[in-house]
Amino acid sequence: MKIPSFTATLLCLPLPLLAAERDNALKLPDVLISANRQVESRTATSAANTIFTRADIDRLQPTSVTDLLARVPGVQVAPTGGRGSVPGIFIRGTKAAQSLVLVDGVRIANATSGDSGLQFLDVDQIERVEVLRGSRSAVYGSDAMGGVIQIFTRRSSGPGLQPRLRLAAGSNQTWQRSLGLSGGDGATRFNLGASLDETAGIDATGPSFASDGDHDAFRNKSLNLSLSHTFGERFEAGLNLLDSRGRSEYDNPYGGFDPVTFESFGQKPYTDFSVSSLGSYFDAQLNDTWHSRLELAHSENRDDKRDKLSDEHSVFNTYRDQVTWQNDLALGEQHNLLIGGDWYEDRVHASTDFNEDSRWNRAAFIQHRYTGERFSTELGGRRDQNQQFGGQTTWSGSLTVPLNTHNDVLLSYSEGFRAPTFNDLYYPQFSNPDLNPEHSRSYELQWRSQLAADSRLETSVYRTDLRDAIIFGQDSIPRNVASARVNGFELSLDQQWGAWRSQLGLALIDPRDRDSGHTLARRARRTVSLDLDRAFGPFSVGGSWQAVSSSYDDEANRNQLAGFGLLGLRGSWAATDELKLEAKLDNLLDHSHSRARYSYEGASHGYREEGRTVLLSVTWTPAL
């Protein structure tokens, strides 16, 4: 495949200089970092992937990270209400806890529930989002069965000082404010940003307790800091911080339970949340062939649930310390060897008394890559040793055959696993300490084609077999009894039509329980996403269309969720070099839709999502 000249130049830079240019690489659409934990061309990796740069985020004007993810072929999002509600995120038919979420290389998932808190991350603090579809457990270990989502925080835009200010107002009493300052020189780069996002929200439920009839407000305060410095020509050190905290109200149609009267009662619950990650790194070019990177990180996921109508109170806080050491060895022009090790420890502090409240995991991984004119290969393996479940080995391999300069065919095999959460293993009376990890095997065929200078097509056909899947029986005790298989097809087409740019994503999926033959819950068989944009000098206009077919909300396939289509419009005006005005209109047709259901008085009802909404914003980037 032909690589754009600037990207090719970047990828050919000596590794110490490349480390110094990592911030610039994050702004490029033609490179990928998450697949092998290093900067490489998108065409060089075997992982099916989608990338959103900061330029894409500014153009698409998403309200949240999940708005971006819904555009990725093979990724489905099932929220349980409006802003701040818990979303189900399904990558290639796997559930949310079976996909790994990273922020600047740091794991952020809650160790008790497996939820990553993506709904709490503010897009104003994000530089880039990379989505890998398919298992990467041979590189990352546990949780990367379905794929990997990595979020990179905002970075410096170049030398000097670049301030920015954004104000926005919209439907449902939505107010957004963000402020940032970035800059640096040849050796030091930094970015500091803060934001406040508030909305009165919507009423997420229909039939329910009277107390659920209010709107569910959401408030989120975010802080981002990135800092890096180069020492001479061979060394670089830096740190990245992201902290999001606030309050999210929600409905509980199941109500509280009185153990004396055995009756349910209405509640007005809310969560005081905090999701944070702090990572530091040290890069060193030890000699002409050996590049080493050491990362130390800490993440926290705090969940404090309360009720305005009662004294109910629960706390589930998890803390994780993480160390990664990675070594890249250039063994000639065609061979590259990746060797490294991981260690992390999870700790739980909760109002519930868990039988165990900490565990460690250590791992070693190795991967060899060969790049030739007629074919390229990738072979990797990883060994994890966990304090709770013992050892786990995963393998992956791929073969890339270039048909010509514009077409590649890829064949790949990958294994994956997911470690049970603390809730699965140790929650009092409703856990099973003898659980084994879940496992997967995936087979994939990809075709990547540069159809024309302005047209890029990527397709994939895959099959994933899951075994030892954890389900809860009628006694609410989890067991390794379920198995499933997922067959799928994905298509991504990026096309330039003169002044117009279109991005099409299509996914067809058949996710089935192998025992019952039923379709897996909340997985639609067909999804389509289309974005169309055009610039007219200082003006730009765009539209988005998303279509999702019907699905089932339960494993027995009794409660069906109707399919739906959503249409959105957006526009912007660069009034001056420093001032930009933006407007967007989501769910233009005010279509009522639901991607998850709940039960009330024996009947099933859909969680409401936002109807037609408008958001107006102004961004000021003064020159200093």
**In the structure, what pLDDT confidence band is assigned to residue 21 with cuts at 50, 70 and 90?**
low
- Residue 83 in contact with residue 586, Cβ under 8 Å? no
Range of the domain at 223: 5-459
Q: Is the pLDDT of residue 267 over 50?
A: yes
Residue 317 in domain: yes
Judge whether residue 50 has pLDDT over 70: yes
CATH of residue 125's domain is: 2.40.170.20
CB atoms within 10 A of CB 523: 22
Copy the structure tokens of residue 94.
Answer: 């796997």
The model's pLDDT over 133-154, given as tens digits with 9 standing for 90+, comes to 999 999 999 999 999 999 999 9
To the nearest whole number, what is the mean pLDDT of the chain? Answer: 93
Per-residue pLDDT, 358: 96
Is residue 211, in this structure, part of any structural domain at all? yes
pLDDT tens digits, 276-320: 999 999 999 999 999 999 999 999 999 999 999 999 999 999 999
Q: Which of 21, 29, 41, 49 has its CA nearest to residue 371?
A: 41
Q: What would the mean pLDDT of 245-258 be, rounded to a whole number?
A: 92
Is residue 426 in some structural domain?
yes
Judge whether residue 162 has pLDDT over 90. yes
- pLDDT of residue 17 exceeding 60, the answer is no
Number of domains in the chain: 1
Residue 591 lies in a domain: no
| Residue 23 DSSP SS3 | helix
Contacts of 64 (CB under 8 A, 6+ apart): 83, 118, 119, 121, 123
pLDDT in tens, 395-442: 999 999 999 999 999 999 999 999 999 999 999 989 999 999 999 999
Cα of first residue to Cα of last residue in the chain, in angstroms, is 41
Note whether residue 24 is domain-resident. Answer: yes
CA dist 555 and 560 (Å) reads: 11
- The DSSP call for residue 138 is H
**pLDDT score at 624:** 84
Q: Which pLDDT does position 10 carry in this prediction?
A: 44
Assigned domain for 34 exists: yes
Distance CA 348, CA 207 (A): 36
Q: Let me know if residue 287 belongs to a domain.
A: yes
Rounded Cα gap, residues 193 and 179, in angstroms: 6
Percent residues over pLDDT 70 in the chain: 97
Contact 149, 118 (CB under 8 A): yes
Count of CB atoms within 10 A of residue 505's CB?
23
CB 222 within 8 A of CB 122: yes
Q: What is the pLDDT of residue 481?
A: 85
pLDDT at position 87 over 80: yes
Task: Determine the average pLDDT of the residues in 102-117.
Answer: 93
88 pLDDT above the threshold of 80: yes
Q: What is d(CA 117, CA 119) in angstroms, rounded to the nearest whole number? A: 5
* Closest by Cα among 466, 557, 558 to 91: 466
In a domain, 621, yes or no: no
Average pLDDT over residues 540-549: 98
Q: Would you say 327 and 340 are in contact if contact means Cβ atoms under 8 Å apart?
A: yes
- E strands in 453-586: 455-472, 478-497, 500-513, 526-536, 539-548, 551-552, 560-561, 564-574, 579-586
Predicted local distance difference test score (pLDDT) of residue 474: 75
Q: Is 403 exposed, middle or buried (0-12, 13-18, 19+ CB in 10 A)?
A: exposed
Q: In sequence order, what are the residues at sequence separation of 6 or more whose Cβ sits closer than 8 angstroms to the Cβ of residue 214?
A: 203, 249, 268
16 pLDDT exceeds 60?
A: no
